Structure 1
Amino acid sequence: MEQLVLKRREFTLLQAFIYQHIGISLGDHKIYLVQARLAKRVKQLGLESFGEYYDHLVADTKGVELEYLSSLISTNVTSFFREQKQWEFLKAHLPSILERTGGKLRIWSAACSTGEEPYSLAMFLAEHIPNVTQCDIKILATDVSSKVLKIAMKGIYSQKACMSLKEGYLRKYFSPIMVENEVCYRINDMLKKQIIFREFNLVTGQYSLFAQKEFDIIFCRNVMIYFDKPTQNALIERFHTMLTKEGYLFIGSSEALTDMKKEFKSKSASIYQKG
């Protein structure tokens, strides 16, 4: 089959659509990445050009194709216990956080992808909070992609996905199961019950759904690098509003709140605290 080529005019249309509806800012140099990620989908739909695909997106008032597009454009790279220094920081400050909250803990894993981050949080808390079952812990895990959320809600991971886990964690918090003749691992129901998975777009989502909700900790790692500066600033302002006093925001190691430090105190690289 002849290779589909994304023309500059078509890319400009898709670029604007993706920014408006998903919030991801794609530079002009991303044209080949968009072509590579969308070509298969265009062919699946029986369309002959990216221009026809754009028309299909605009005509899809139910948002089914937008959801599919979100999954194709967003990068879902994750693993258990990423960025070790952040977990060390959290371990050191967990007693003071719990003292401040009276044993009640609300955490938001924004852009949770396939679930490794919220499950890492649940395991971490189970390991480092004495009498953890007596605490009131809830973890909200959201992502723009329903595709990755379905994987997260199942809580079943391949051996490769579990390579970053300590052997003790694997034995304690997972059960081995066979999936298509391959040994995989399923997260324990005890941890699953602490996590609520929801589809949510950080840029275009209705934040009114979070009314009356305050979080002690927000994880939003390696997401803002895809947004332009105004979108980043708007998102950080929302996080600031939604955090409790002295609550923590964890971002990716390649990110920084360069223009927002007046709202947050920098505690360590990629870790900020609300004043």
Structure 2
Amino acid sequence: MVSISDSEHLAQADHLRLAEFIEQVVGIQLPAHKRSLIETRLRKRLRATQINHFHEYLDYVLNGDTQEQVMLIDALTTNKTDFFREANHFEYLYEYLDRLLNQSNQNRLHPYRFWSAGCSTGEEPYTLAMFLETLKINHPAFDYQIEATDISVSVLQTAQQAIYPHHLAEPIPMAYRKRFLLRKKTASLDLVKVAPELRQHIHFSEFNLVTGNFDAMGGFDGIFCRNVMIYFSQAQRQLIIENFTRLLTQNGFFFVGHSEGVSARQFGLEQKIPTVYQKIST
């Protein structure tokens, strides 16, 4: 039987080669002060692969086992999200679109498109869909699509299933819960499932913000990338923002986390409220 010692520590040289690989492939930085967290997550992969030591595991995974590389990246990716997180972003977009639709006398020929980049387990795109679906009450012709992407395979699986413990839905206003969530009670679990009317508008897929083909994503009326870019270097952040803004339609919106500042004018953006930017004419 394989024995994995919890007392073994990740050597500095192994930490450095792991950090170099992760930054190159995913763009996420793994500084020295996170070594204990890295060790904890690596031990799960050692158990899964039945390898005894960190050094042996890294030899195995970094020398070309692409399937295990996916699992390694998944293990080291931090995924934290909530329903209605930074709800003022969605409220601002709703009010803007409501005014725009009230002023427009023309029917748009194609749906509005939005991107939830770094969508984690799906709470962000589902929250966005709740607001957009509500617009249809006063604007029945309004239509939308949401591309939701993440680097982590496991969180995308959770997002696609659209099933969550009931307590995670507590931040959702009751009127939205009644309309958009289905209760799923079992003997031991109290669950909710997102209604099909939202799920049909969302497409989940894997996307790497460092190496991904942005041009293949198409144009967007709004892009959400919140509390994701803090894990990248300054140079990587700049390139990612350049790619995002290039894909925004004229007057499209870019939403970031409150810990992420953007030099708006540098990217052809104008700050509307804190952490909300709009693409302007250049």
TM-score by length of 1: 0.92
Mapping of 1:5-44 within 5 angstroms? Answer: 5-44=9-48
Asked if structure 1 preserves the Cα contact closer than 8 Å seen for 2:147 and 2:203, the reply is yes
C-alpha distance in 2, partners of 1:144/1:252?
18
C-alpha distance in 2, partners of 1:215/1:259?
18
C-alpha distance in 2, partners of 1:65/1:97?
48
| 1:56 correspondence with 2:60 | yes
Q: Would the alpha carbon gap of residues 102 and 142 (structure 1) be closer, same or farther in structure 2, given more than 3 Å must change?
A: farther
What is the aligned partner in structure 1 of residue 135 from structure 2? 128
Mapping of 1:126-275 within 5 angstroms? Answer: 126-131=133-138, 133-179=140-186, 181-210=188-217, 213-258=218-263, 261-275=266-280
Asked if structure 1 preserves the Cα contact closer than 8 Å seen for 2:264 and 2:270, the reply is no
C-alpha distance in 1, partners of 2:187/2:118?
28
Amino acid at match of 2:247: M
Q: Would the alpha carbon gap of residues 223 and 166 (structure 1) be closer, same or farther in structure 2, given more than 3 Å must change?
A: same
SS of equivalent to 2:85: coil
C-alpha distance in 2, partners of 1:265/1:161?
34
SS of equivalent to 2:73: helix
| 1:117 correspondence with 2:124 | yes
Amino acid at match of 1:141: A
C-alpha distance in 1, partners of 2:215/2:226?
23
| 1:68 correspondence with 2:71 | yes
Amino acid at match of 2:89: Q
Asked if structure 1 preserves the Cα contact closer than 8 Å seen for 2:135 and 2:142, the reply is no
Aligned-residue offset at 1:40: 2.0
SS of equivalent to 1:48: coil
Aligned-residue offset at 1:135: 2.2
Deviates more, 1:92-101 or 1:8-17: 92-101
C-alpha distance in 2, partners of 1:240/1:48?
46
Amino acid at match of 2:250: K
C-alpha distance in 2, partners of 1:259/1:133?
34
Q: Would the alpha carbon gap of residues 204 and 180 (structure 1) be closer, same or farther in structure 2, given more than 3 Å must change?
A: farther
Aligned-residue offset at 1:48: 2.0
SS of equivalent to 2:169: coil
C-alpha distance in 2, partners of 1:260/1:74?
31
C-alpha distance in 2, partners of 1:94/1:112?
22
Aligned-residue offset at 1:190: 1.0
Asked if structure 1 preserves the Cα contact closer than 8 Å seen for 2:18 and 2:58, the reply is yes
C-alpha distance after superposition, 1:15-59 (max 9, x if no partner): 001011111022222222211221221132121222212112123
Asked if structure 2 preserves the Cα contact closer than 8 Å seen for 1:236 and 1:260, the reply is no
What is the aligned partner in structure 2 of residue 77 from structure 1? 80
Name the % identity: 36
Aligned-residue offset at 1:197: 0.7
SS of equivalent to 1:190: helix
Q: Would the alpha carbon gap of residues 126 and 120 (structure 1) be closer, same or farther in structure 2, given more than 3 Å must change?
A: same
Q: Would the alpha carbon gap of residues 180 and 152 (structure 1) be closer, same or farther in structure 2, given more than 3 Å must change?
A: farther
Aligned-residue offset at 1:148: 0.6
C-alpha distance in 1, partners of 2:169/2:143?
28
Q: Would the alpha carbon gap of residues 264 and 16 (structure 1) be closer, same or farther in structure 2, given more than 3 Å must change?
A: same
C-alpha distance in 2, partners of 1:170/1:88?
17
TM-score by length of 2: 0.90
Q: Would the alpha carbon gap of residues 179 and 214 (structure 1) be closer, same or farther in structure 2, given more than 3 Å must change?
A: farther
SS of equivalent to 1:42: helix
Q: Would the alpha carbon gap of residues 11 and 259 (structure 1) be closer, same or farther in structure 2, given more than 3 Å must change?
A: farther
Asked if structure 1 preserves the Cα contact closer than 8 Å seen for 2:132 and 2:144, the reply is no
Aligned-residue offset at 1:64: 1.3
Asked if structure 1 preserves the Cα contact closer than 8 Å seen for 2:264 and 2:271, the reply is no
Amino acid at match of 1:30: K
Aligned-residue offset at 1:95: 2.5
Amino acid at match of 1:153: Q
Q: Would the alpha carbon gap of residues 244 and 179 (structure 1) be closer, same or farther in structure 2, given more than 3 Å must change?
A: farther
